[in-house]
Every structure is written in structure tokens, then in C-alpha cells.
Chains A and B, each alone.
Chain A
Amino acid sequence: MEFALSEDQRLLQDSVNGFLKDAAPLDVIRKIADGDAAAADGLAGGIAEMGLAGLHVPEATGGSGLGLLEACLVQEALGYAVAPSGFMAATVASHVLAQAGSEYAGGIASGDVVFGLALTELASRRDGAGVTAAGGKLTGKSLLADVPAGATHLLVADTSGALHVVDDWAAAPMRTIDRTRIFYEVTFAGQKDLAKSDDKDNALAVARLLVAADTLGAAQAMLDKAVEYAKERKQFGRVIGSFQAVKHLCAEMAAKIEPARALVWHAAYSMDTGDPEALVMANLAKAHLAEVGTFVAKISTEVHGGMGFTDLVGLHYWFKRIGVNRQLFGSPEQVRQTAAELQGFVAA
């Protein structure tokens, strides 16, 4: 029995973290948030060069053939750096499409195909939106789609929960609290349905698991920043990190983050090995990380005092990353409802 990262997994973690430390420091994140297209393209290009898009594509179709555990380590690193990327969309699409036996997975690995996600219908149907599939064509609207720059295809959920692939759509940006990532309202007017999958439970579980990993990274960054700040900032003639009132806040953050990290690893490993509880764990990981992340986002900001509230230290980018992640693909209450249904806790 061994519940720990392998040497290769640690190397992957180190290389992605190392790359992002250089390529996505706070001033680059600020530029991206302010709409600097060159900065966004530069970071996206660097991530593409690392070949991460094909990480979860099977080796037989030209990918690295790595599991969701490795994908979670990469997503955690991206969350730590609050770096926008197409990695989540590529991973969800390659998971769903490889399972459906589609030829697109190979294109994702080679970089010829770049996927976006329009999956909101799986979690939240709304008035004023909704996608229908009929006669091999898609019509309607999906909200808060994750469409990376240069996307060639979208994985789309229709209102009944079936998944489709399209290569054409109209997109209008939707402004959220998080300016580092752009989400879109996408509209379909009879676009051709290129491929189908009915595996909505898996698609939603993978998307939610990756969001959990992203929040884990962002929360760890906020704890690290709080501890660092508390060791430097002086009031009443001593560093504030020597006051128990401040130390205990940091201890509480760490006490919640450490088990949450183990939960993300365990859920990812379960998905990779086909554990019967895998879908339950992936959903629990999303809901749990949403709660832990929200706690850490608030408490780390408080440890920073007034500075945490300003734009000067940029802590708010992490706060907003966690806030958006909490709602993406369903609020914690919605996600727990899924986990309850999967376990037969909900009367039919």
C-alpha cells in the first residue's frame, strides 16, 4: 500500500510549478486581467509548448496517456499561479472523447484541435438559455462556456444532458468577478453535431474534480502568502505572526487544506482505477474544496489586514479564482445533491 506521489508525479509537479513561477508572475497575471492580449498569448503559448493539452490523451492516439491524478497536479499548479489556460477544457474533452472512441483525442494531443467546454446545461438549466439537439443540428444558448483562445471545437451539453461536438458557434464574453479568465455566452443556430456521448456523469465528475484541484492550488497559495505576510508585518513591536490570534487562523487554514489535498488525490486515483465510489468522491471533492477554499480565501485576506483588501498585493485574484470555482459546474449544495443521488440517498 502506498498513498503518496511517485517520483515522476513529483517531477511533473515541479516542472509545471517552475514554469509558471517564471511565466506567470503577478505582473503577468495583472496584464492578462487588464486585457493585454500579448501577455495572454505569451502564457498560452508557453503552456502549449509544455505539451500539457495531450496529458490525458491515450498514448495510442498520440497523447501522454497520464491519468486524472497527474491532471489534478497540473491543475493545482495552475490554480496556485492563478494562471488562465485551456488545460481543463482539453482534459475534460480528452476524457469524454477517448471514452467515446472519438478521433478528436489525437488532434488534442497534436495541438491541431483546441477544445472549449459549454457544459453548463449539465448542472444548471436557466430561463433564457438551453441547447436542443435535433436532426444532427444544435440550436440554443449555453452560458459561462470555457472557451480558450484559439479554440477550434466545443464540447457541448444539451438540455437533456447528452454531449455533442461542434466546430462553429457565436460567442459573447460574460464579465465575472475573475478578470483573468473569460467566460462566454455561446449561441448555436443549427450547427452540425459532429460527435456524441451520453456519459454526462463522467464528464461532470471530471470537470468538478479539476475545479477542486484548481481551488486546492489557489487555497495553498493564499495560505503561503498569509504565513509569509504574518512573519514580516510588525505591529505592537512584534511580528503579527507571533500573536496567537493570527497563528491560530493560519493553523486552521492548514488543518483544512491538508486533508483536502488527500481527498483530491484519492478521488483522482479512484477515477483512474475505476473504483466504484469514484464518481461520489469526485463530487465530494468539488463540494468540499469549495467550502475549504471559501474559508481560506476569507481568512487569508483577514490575516493580510487592510492590504488584503487592496489591489496593491493582488491577493484578490486568488480570492476571486476560488469564488468563481465555488459556483462553476454547480454550487456546493448542487454538487452534494449529485453525490447523494449517486449513493441512492435520494428517494426516487
Chain B
Amino acid sequence: MKLDLSPEYEAFRQDVNRVLTENAHLAPGPEDRGMKHPKRLAWQKFLIDQGLTARTIPKEYGGYGAEPDLLKSRIIAEEFARTGIARPMGGQGISMLVPTLLELGTPEQKAAYIRPTLYGEMIWCQGYSEPGAGSDLAALRTSAVEDGDDFVINGQKIWTSTAKQADMIFCLVRTDPNAKKHEGISYILFSMETPGIEVRPLVDMTENANFNEVFFTDVRVPKSGIVFEKNKGWQVANATLTHERGMLGDPNATKARFLELVEMMKAETLNGERLIDNPLLRDRLLKLQGEVYAMQANGLRVTTASLQKQSAGLAGLIVKLQGCELNHQIAGLAIDALGELGILYGEGDHLRADGSWQWRYMYDLGLIIGGGTAQIQKNIISERGLGMPREPKPAKE
């Protein structure tokens, strides 16, 4: 056990903090709307040049080219959180497609796509889920039929974030309808400007269209878009899903939300009494604090395991399930503590924190379901973590 940093890393932390605070005026704000706003693109380029994002991606593909060092990556993430300065671009292209291409892409694919994606010039969306293929993703039916040098794609995707803005899609399609369900799938890249693609916004309970439905009608795309090999798309997809699960349930973000809740309960009054002075609300707050501290300590354990190139075992498997549930409960307590005013939303004079607690309460429920539902997580924990048997498959009809 040793939780403080060595002098080398402490110096690195100070450097990162200095670069961020000295250049904070370059960072885009909420008023700089649009994913490709010039200020956003310039900030992204600055952060890559400084090694504060795309840090370990080779220089030849547009990255910073540093040796992998998880502790440094962690320090960078912490300094962005501490200073509150605009983070580097994320999104499914950068966080999921780029690692996949680095591992499995052809030299042509790497050269064509990684650099513009990192620089925010090429936006991607992910075509995985379908109306009939959610938790059972491998049941997907969107078909891709070979025709000369092309595939012709027909079908429908759902839960597609940023489909409206996307230049490109990485998509799972069925290329062999006669193979077993995991063995007839391919992972393919193509342009969202290809004729035959229709995007319809999917409005969710937060009143926003965070997701879309995407329809494909005779969409003709080149075969060269296949990543790895035809009918090997399931392995490729599993490589990216690992990256997504790592993104959900960050304990530092949870702690920041908890501290916001504490400040709100100290500042806000009800019938002349601070919310935190209500013993029932305070007890609920302290109960959540125990969980928040536990998840934070668990996060230290998971990070240590990665640093030592070991599996974190159960401590890693439970992060998505527990972390998303805890975020949801923090938002739930904030709403209860606000009492009647907790129901306000959108705009208005008496709105607290821009209505963000209600927004989080709904959005976090979406995250409990998305990226592998809580029930799927429990299957994974019991089967991979506790060695319990899989549910037997029903006999074929």
C-alpha cells in the first residue's frame, strides 16, 4: 500500500496542471456549439501536441507516440477533472474504433481513418444494436450480400448515438445467414453519405434525441471496408465492447457528483432549515458516502491491477453494475432532498442546478441499461467471477 506519487509522477502532475491552466483560454465552452466548431478542433490538436490525449497512439497515425503508462494517463484524467477544463474529444470513433483499428485494421484502414478521427475531423457512429438484437447482440439480422466488389446492405440499427453528425459508421452486418449466429457476422466501415441510409432521431425520456434509428435500403458499400476478416466480426466487436465497459462507472466522476450533492444540501434550505440538517436526509447522504468511498477504493484496486498487468478479477467485473446504480441513487437523493422543487426541469426561475439532477436521474437509468444491462452484468459476474454455470440453452424448436 502506497497511495502517494513518486517525485517523477508528482512533477508530471504539476506539468500537466500548468499546461492546462496556462492555456485554459484556448478551451472551447458550451457556447461553441457543433462537434466540428473550429475552437474544438484547435483545442483537440493542442491537446494531442501536448501529449494530453491520443497519448500512446503512434506518431505515424497522428498520435503523440508516448510509451503506455497507465499512471500518467490517470494523472491526466484527474487533472482535467480537478481543473474543470474542457476534456479532449471522446465519442465512439476515438474511444472504440481507433483501438480496434490499431489492433486489427489493415495498413490502408489505419492510414485513412485514425488521424482524422483523432483530430475530430471525422465523426463516427456505431451500428451494433437492432430492434431484435439488444442483449442478444449476435442475433442481429441486418444483411450484407456480396455483389462484385461491393456489399449491398439492408436492415435497421437502433440506439445509434451521433448518427446525424457522423461521417462514417462502424457496423455489424450478417454476411453468412447459414452459419451459426456468432460465425456469420462481419465488422464493416462505410460512409454515412452512401445513398439508401435514413437517420431518424429517437427522442428519449430526457426529452433529448441522444440516440437515433438508422435504416439501410440497398446501401452499396465497398468490400474493402471489412475489418479483420469476413465472418469474423464477432471477435472484432468483442474487442471494442471491452473498451466501452471501461468507460462506464468511473468512480472519480461519481465522487465529484457526490460532493456536488453535499454542497447543494448545505446551501439549499427548506422551511428555514438547511437540507443537510434534516437527520433523515443526512443519514441517506452518509449511507451513499460509504458506497462512494467504497467504489473509489475499489477503483484504486482496479488501477493497481492494471499497472501490474494483472486481472482485477471480481473488483473489475462489478464496476459497471455498482457504479451506474450508485450514480442513479445520488441523483435520486438530490431530487428527494429538493422536495417539491425537485420536479422542475428545462427552464424557469426556481430551477436548481439547471435541472441537472432530474436529467441525471433519467440519463443514469439509461446507462444502467445501456452497454450491457444490469442483468447481463450479473450473468457476467456470476459466470466469470464466481464460476457458476451458464443457463442451459433451450432445446431447438
Chain B residues with CB under 8 A of A269? 1, 3
Closest chain B residue, CB of each to CB of A336: B286
User: Which of A3, A227, A238, A258 interacts with B303 by CB under 8 Å?
Assistant: A3
A343 to B379, CA, bound (A): 39
Is B148 an interface residue, CB under 8 A from the partner? no
Majority-rule SS of A interface residues = helix
Q: Is the CB of A259 within 8 A of B381?
A: no
Selected contact of B322 from candidates A242, A243, A255, CB within 8 Å: A255
A4 to chain B, nearest CB (A): 5
A4-B301, A247-B383, A333-B283 given as contacts; is B1 within 8 A of A288 (CB)? Answer: no
The distance in angstroms between the C-alpha atoms of A262 and B392, with both chains bound, is: 34
Q: Is A41 an interface residue (CB 8 A)?
A: no
Knowing A4-B301, A241-B389 touch, does A345 contact B287 (C-beta < 8 A)?
no
**Could you tell me the distance between the alpha carbons of A242 and B391 in the complex, rounded to whole angstroms?**
5
B304 touches A242 (CB 8 A): no
A279 interface contact, C-beta 8 A: no
With both chains docked as a complex, state the minimum distance between the C-beta of B242 and any C-beta of chain A, in angstroms: 19
Give complex CA distance A6, B2 in Å: 10
Chain B residues closer than 8 Å to A69, beta-carbon distance: 1
Closest Cβ of chain B to A337, distance in Å, is 8
From residue 354 to 397 of chain B, which have CB atoms closer than 8 A to chain A? Answer: 375, 377-379, 381-383, 385-392
Q: Which of the 9-residue segments B47-55, B197-205, B292-300 touches chain A?
A: B292-300
Q: Which of B301-317 contact A (CB under 8 A)?
A: 301, 303-305, 307-308, 314-315
A340-B297 contact in complex given A4-B1, A227-B386, A254-B314, C-beta closer than 8 Å: no
Beta-carbon contact of A248 and B382 below 8 Å: yes
Q: Which of B57-65, B86-94, B218-226, B274-282 touches A? A: B274-282
Indicate which residue in A2, A251, A259, A339 contacts B378 across the interface (CB closer than 8 Å): A251
A294 to chain B, nearest CB (A): 13
**Complex Cα distance A240/B147, Å?**
50
A4 and B308 within 8 A (CB): yes
Indicate if B34 sits at the interface (CB-CB under 8 A): no
Q: How many residues of B contact A (CB 8 A)?
A: 53
Q: Are B382 and A2 in contact (CB under 8 A)?
A: no
Complex Cα–Cα for A281 and B293 (A): 8
A37 at the interface (CB under 8 A from B): no
Q: Are A3 and B301 in contact (CB under 8 A)?
A: yes
- The complex places the Cα of A110 from the Cα of B391 at a distance, in Å, of 56
Chain A residue numbers with a CB within 8 Å of B322 are 255-256, 259
Q: Which residues on the B side are within 8 Å of A252 (C-beta)? A: 378
* Cβ B378 vs Cβ A263 within 8 A: no
Q: How many residues on A have C-beta within 8 angstroms of the other chain's C-beta atoms? A: 48
Q: Is the C-beta of A235 less than 8 angstroms from some C-beta in chain B?
A: no
Whether B389 and A248, one on each chain, are in contact in the complex, defined by CB atoms closer than 8 angstroms, is: no
B4 within 8 Å of A (CB atoms):
yes
**Is there an interface contact between B385 and A254, defined as CB atoms closer than 8 Å?**
yes
A154 at the interface (CB under 8 A from B): no
User: Which residues of A are found within 8 Å of B279, using beta-carbon distances?
Assistant: 337
Q: Please determine whether A263 and B304 come into contact, CB atoms closer than 8 angstroms.
A: no
- Please indicate which of the listed interface residues B274, B282, B379, B388 has the most CB atoms of chain A within 10 Å of its own CB: B388
Decide yes or no whether B318 CB sits under 8 A from chain A. Answer: yes
Q: Which of A239, A262, A265, A285 has the most CB of B within 10 A?
A: A262
Instruction: Please tell me if A312 contacts chain B, counting CB pairs below 8 Å.
Output: no
Decide if A24 is an interface residue (CB 8 Å cutoff): no
Docked complex Cα distance between A256 and B377 (Å): 14
B286 touches A258 (CB 8 A): no
Report A-chain residues with C-beta under 8 Å of the C-beta of B1.
2-6, 69, 265, 269
**Are B277 and A247 in contact, CB atoms less than 8 angstroms apart?**
no
Q: Using A6-B1, A262-B297 as known contacts, say yes or no to A241 and B388 having CB atoms under 8 A apart.
A: yes
With A248-B375, A262-B294 in contact, is A254–B318 under 8 Å at CB? yes
B391 cross-chain contacts in A, Cβ below 8 A: 242-244, 247
Give Cα A346–Cα B282 distance, bound, in whole angstroms: 9
A289 nearest in chain B by CB position: B290
Inter-subunit contact B379/A1 (CB<8 Å): no
CA distance A5 to B304 in the complex (A): 11
**Which of B3, B290, B377 is packed against the most chain A CB atoms within 10 Å?**
B290
Which residues does chain A contribute within 8 Å of B286, judged by CB atoms? 284, 287, 336-337, 339-340, 345
Interface pair B379/A247, CB less than 8 Å apart: yes
Name the residue of chain B whose CB is nearest to the CB of A270.
Answer: B3
Query: Is A291 located at the chain interface by the 8 A CB criterion?
Result: yes
Interface status of B17 (Cβ within 8 A of chain A): no
Q: Is the CB of A259 within 8 A of B390?
A: no
Who on chain A is nearest to B321 by CB?
A255
Given contacts A3-B3, A263-B297, A284-B289, contact A227 B274 (CB under 8 A): no
Nearest B-chain residue to A256, judged by Cβ:
B322
Check if A259 sits within 8 Å of B294, measured CB to CB: yes
Contact B289 A339, beta carbon cutoff 8 Å: yes
Asked whether, in the complex, the Cβ of A255 is within 8 Å of the Cβ of B381, the reply is yes
Query: 18 interchain pairs (CB within 8 A)?
Result: A1-B300, A1-B307, A2-B304, A3-B3, A4-B304, A4-B308, A69-B1, A227-B388, A242-B391, A250-B388, A251-B321, A254-B382, A259-B298, A284-B290, A285-B290, A336-B283, A340-B282, A345-B286
Query: Chain A interface (Cβ within 8 Å of chain B)?
Result: 1-6, 69, 227, 230-231, 238-239, 241-244, 247-248, 250-252, 254-256, 258-260, 262-263, 265-266, 269, 273, 281, 284-285, 287-288, 291, 332-333, 336-337, 339-340, 345-347
Closest 5 pairs between A and B when the two form their complex, measured CB to CB: A288-B290, A262-B297, A3-B300, A259-B294, A336-B286
